[in-house]
Structure 1
Amino acid sequence: MPSLHRSLSFSQGLGLLASALLGTGVFIVPELTVKHSGANALWGWGLLVFAIIPIAFAFARLGKRYPHAGGASHYVHSAFGATQGRIVGWVLLALVPVGLPAAMEMAGWFLTSLIALTSIELLAVKLTLVAGMLWVNLRGVKLSGSLQTAIAFSVGGIVVLLSILAWLDVIPPAPAEPSSFNWEQVGAAAGLAFWSFIGIETLAHLSTEFKNPERDFPLCLIIGVALVGLVYWMGSWVTLHYALGADYSGPAMVYLFDALIGGHGKLLIGLFGFLSCVATMNIYLAGSSRMLWSLGKDGATYPALGKVNRHGAPANAVFVMSIASIASLLVFSVLQVPLEELIRMANGMIVLVYLLTMLSAIRLFKGKDRILPGLGALVCLYLAYTLMSSLWCIAVVYTSIFIILKVRKPKQALMGAQA
């Protein structure tokens, strides 16, 4: 059976990961953490980066030893068997119809800050975006990687530039508010900031498409997490010292851009914020399509989903995930589900996947190699504790998939077996 093309370079992979992690949060989350925790937000970001590193290392080592488009699903399969692996695969697929509408809401916020749109017009724009991402992903991950790289480094570059200009005293610091170290506020900031690091698992689906996966995939993951953590920390630092307490209305990044560079902040921050959201959604569509392709190739769903087109892209899987995304957009638009609830549900699913992946690494690795995934598992358990209110939903999803897979024959597809 044809395989996915190995077309990703190190820089393109780094761009894909950076855009997934910077995503919807780079212009929003630093301000939220600073407003919530003040100076303790900087400690929170540092703590989070150190907490994410064991998880990133575990994913990197798993991707190096077991490169597979199934990503986390394949790792869990290798450690705990086909049923658990397929459950993780379907949980990740279920994440897209929940997470994509949330990201679309944020993209819509940036877009409507630039132009006035009615709810119907905004929905039409969202559907058009899905169609555009469908076209990009049908052309293969190389084109997608090139676009993501440009967007990711542009967005990150803006935050770094603002921080450097502020450090050079282009504008005076904002009035400082007295604060003392507080573990509770540090933990709260880290918990809020965690949402910005969701995306590590998506790069695992693309590990087989690196030109040199054993070298480039682990480097891309570790360097990407470190660089993105630095960008978020710098964004929080410049917001804390030069925007918090200043006289402005609207997002802090818009105020900082206008003050430090001289106008057009609303236009540029709105534009790049919108593009950043689109980049995040694009990599999730790419990752989920490869997950579905992997399930089709392994006989866990329709075999037709395990085929690729002449560009080496899993075309049928891309079409299915795009249709599912359109359906979810329409349903959530009608039901008007709150953004916060979508985020909690999506992150609960991701914490479950991360935890099962860490447990898989503990089982697959030997000796000292188990230490980092062990630490990662503890981090996941703590995050699960913070998401306790939404865990019932995740338990229902997991149990339902488990029962369906047990009732059907191993070779039957979850969505129906061929006659």
Structure 2
Amino acid sequence: MEHPGRSARTAGADDGPGAPGASGGLGAAQGTALLLGAVLGPGVLALPHLAAAAAGPASIVAWAALLALSVPVALSFAALGGRFPDGGGVATFAARAFGPRTAAVTGWWFYFAVPIGVPAGAMIGAEYVASALGLGAAGITAVACALLVAAFAANHAGLRVSGGTQLLLAALLAVLLVAAVAVALPSVRPGNFAPFAPHGWGGIAEAAGVLFFAFVGWEAASHLSAEFADPRRRLRRATVLTLAVVGVLYLGLAVTTVGVLGERAATSPVPLALLLEHGAGDLAGPVTAGAALLLSFGAINAYLAGGARLGAALARDGALPARLAAGAAPGEVPHRSLALLAVLCGAVTAAVAGLGMGLDPLLRVTSACLAAVTAVGMAAAARLLTGRGRRLAAVAAAFTVVLLVSCGPYLLAPVVTAAVGAAAGAAAVRGRRRRAGRGATSKASETSDASEAPDAPEASRASASPPA
């Protein structure tokens, strides 16, 4: 990575309270839609079931605790993005706080987690669609590929198109989930909440570990900070709105899933479909398929938007090949970075479909890398912010470290990536030093030539004159 000051200068980070990002960039509505897409993913279709299986009705406590603890994480990222808006996102924050090598490693964690997590998310959504519509294995692969192609096309068209599409889909998704909760609420039975904690505090902790997959995404939005028309105000506003929407939807789904389904909440892998049956009847299957498509596309779209801009910023700052730097400026489209992500996503999708790979390892590897990114981001916030922002970041840092440890053996993924990223960052630093050295030598040579230049004509005349 380049010296941390470079990213700040490029982004115009400290130009005052209203430091602008891209001219005519994202507003609060489009920003909220993109953040919702990053946080609300296809996992919400299955996570209520997994949490209920781990903790019973007390899974609601795990949902509430993670929502409360995600507040300082989200607000810390919003504060950093507003103060240092740049496509490098967490890598830019890490550069300012800890230097270029940490920034390179952090950027690699996120960038190379995208082509692992995005195909997995597409396959999850495709499996729900296939289940609802009676499609086979070939149908699952076709739906997953269609989701990926649509998301890459939207991002190549630019954030104006991508953000507008996301706004429409987020509105439809919110209406759908609110409707699912509303039609199910009259069927809530108090008896379904007893016994409340059949597996004790251990079950609640296990549920929290499972539910962590529903709360990643704030780090993805940090890469879009420079695309906001007014990052300090509009990014924070979008973050607060997203927290409110996510809180209502998650807690509503958690309460209704347990209160309506009772023991079935812990045994059915499609709790949302069961909830929709109370109001939609035979239409529950197609509606669930629609929800899966919306959730999957939203998450894929948001992560590709953030990852592509991060890749261009990393290339700009020397941590990736320089050819990928095109489109690093706010408002531009990083076509080359997107193309590399498309190739990597295609390779992972082909491996999953052709080799019959399970999705669980892909999701856990992705989560381990993103947890590492979040931990570094919160540590950077604790160092860069002041006052209440620093205190919030300290709480968030402690929270993310605990979650990072809970990743267990999958921590090997960010460790290996860190080793490769550190080597690449060191090579980039050595390359810049060599170029700087050659530049200094060249300037010294030019200075020496210039100092000898006045004597040259005299020597030429002397050699050209005939002897006396």
What's the TM-score once normalised by structure 2's chain length?
0.81
Which one of 136, 141, 144 corresponds to residue 162 of structure 2? 144
Paired residues, what number?
A: 410
Which one of 181, 191, 194 corresponds to residue 178 of structure 1? 194
> 1:245: how far off?
3.4
Partner of 1:258: 277
Q: Please tell me whether residue 156 in structure 1 is matched to residue 174 in structure 2.
A: yes
Given that residues 130 and 139 in structure 2 are in contact (C-alpha distance below 8 angstroms), is that contact kept between their aligned partners in structure 1?
no
Partner of 2:244: 226
Given that residues 139 and 311 in structure 1 are in contact (C-alpha distance below 8 angstroms), is that contact kept between their aligned partners in structure 2?
no
DSSP 3-state at the match of 1:52: helix
| Inter-CA distance 196–26: structure 2 relative to 1 (3 Å threshold) | same
Give the AA of the match of 2:279: L
Given that residues 63 and 204 in structure 1 are in contact (C-alpha distance below 8 angstroms), is that contact kept between their aligned partners in structure 2?
yes
Percent same amino acid at aligned positions? 25
> 1:187: how far off?
2.0
| Inter-partner Cα distance in structure 1 for 2:23 and 2:405 | 40
Task: Point out the more displaced range, 369-378 or 292-301.
Answer: 292-301
Q: Please tell me whether residue 355 in structure 1 is matched to residue 375 in structure 2.
A: yes
Which one of 193, 199, 220 corresponds to residue 217 of structure 2? 199
Q: Please tell me whether residue 397 in structure 1 is matched to residue 417 in structure 2.
A: yes
DSSP 3-state at the match of 1:243: helix
Which one of 280, 284, 296 corresponds to residue 277 of structure 1? 296
- Superposed CA deviations along residues 140-189 of structure 1, whole A, max 9, x for unmatched, are 1121112112222322222222322333x2x4638525224533222222
- Superposed CA deviations along residues 212-242 of structure 1, whole A, max 9, x for unmatched, are 2110101211331232022111001111111
Give the AA of the match of 2:216: I
Higher helix share: 2
Given that residues 319 and 428 in structure 2 are in contact (C-alpha distance below 8 angstroms), is that contact kept between their aligned partners in structure 1?
no
RMSD of aligned alpha carbons: 2.5
> 1:103: how far off?
0.5
Given that residues 97 and 325 in structure 1 are in contact (C-alpha distance below 8 angstroms), is that contact kept between their aligned partners in structure 2?
yes
Give the AA of the match of 2:172: S
Pairing of 1:331-410 with structure 2 (within 5 A): 331-410=351-430
Q: Please tell me whether residue 322 in structure 1 is matched to residue 345 in structure 2.
A: no
Give the AA of the match of 1:258: E
Given that residues 6 and 208 in structure 1 are in contact (C-alpha distance below 8 angstroms), is that contact kept between their aligned partners in structure 2?
no
| Inter-CA distance 80–256: structure 2 relative to 1 (3 Å threshold) | same
| Inter-partner Cα distance in structure 1 for 2:257 and 2:100 | 47
| Inter-CA distance 270–121: structure 2 relative to 1 (3 Å threshold) | closer
The gaps in structure 2 that reach 5 residues or longer are 1-9, 12-20, 433-468
| Inter-partner Cα distance in structure 1 for 2:190 and 2:350 | 43
Q: Please tell me whether residue 46 in structure 1 is matched to residue 64 in structure 2.
A: yes
Which one of 293, 296, 304 corresponds to residue 323 of structure 2? 304
| Inter-partner Cα distance in structure 2 for 1:361 and 1:44 | 25
Partner of 1:59: 77
| Inter-partner Cα distance in structure 2 for 1:61 and 1:342 | 31
- Superposed CA deviations along residues 313-368 of structure 1, whole A, max 9, x for unmatched, are 22222222112211221133334332221111111101111111111112212354
| Inter-partner Cα distance in structure 1 for 2:318 and 2:188 | 62
| Inter-CA distance 177–210: structure 2 relative to 1 (3 Å threshold) | closer
The gaps in structure 1 that reach 5 residues or longer are 413-419
Task: Point out the more displaced range, 284-293 or 181-190.
Answer: 181-190
Given that residues 119 and 148 in structure 2 are in contact (C-alpha distance below 8 angstroms), is that contact kept between their aligned partners in structure 1?
no
What's the TM-score once normalised by structure 1's chain length?
0.90
Q: Which has the larger radius of gyration?
A: 2
Partner of 2:442: none
Q: Please tell me whether residue 24 in structure 1 is matched to residue 42 in structure 2.
A: yes
Task: Point out the more displaced range, 216-225 or 182-191.
Answer: 182-191
| Inter-partner Cα distance in structure 1 for 2:268 and 2:204 | 26
- Superposed CA deviations along residues 55-80 of structure 1, whole A, max 9, x for unmatched, are 11211110111111110010001111
DSSP 3-state at the match of 1:198: coil
> 1:4: how far off?
5.5
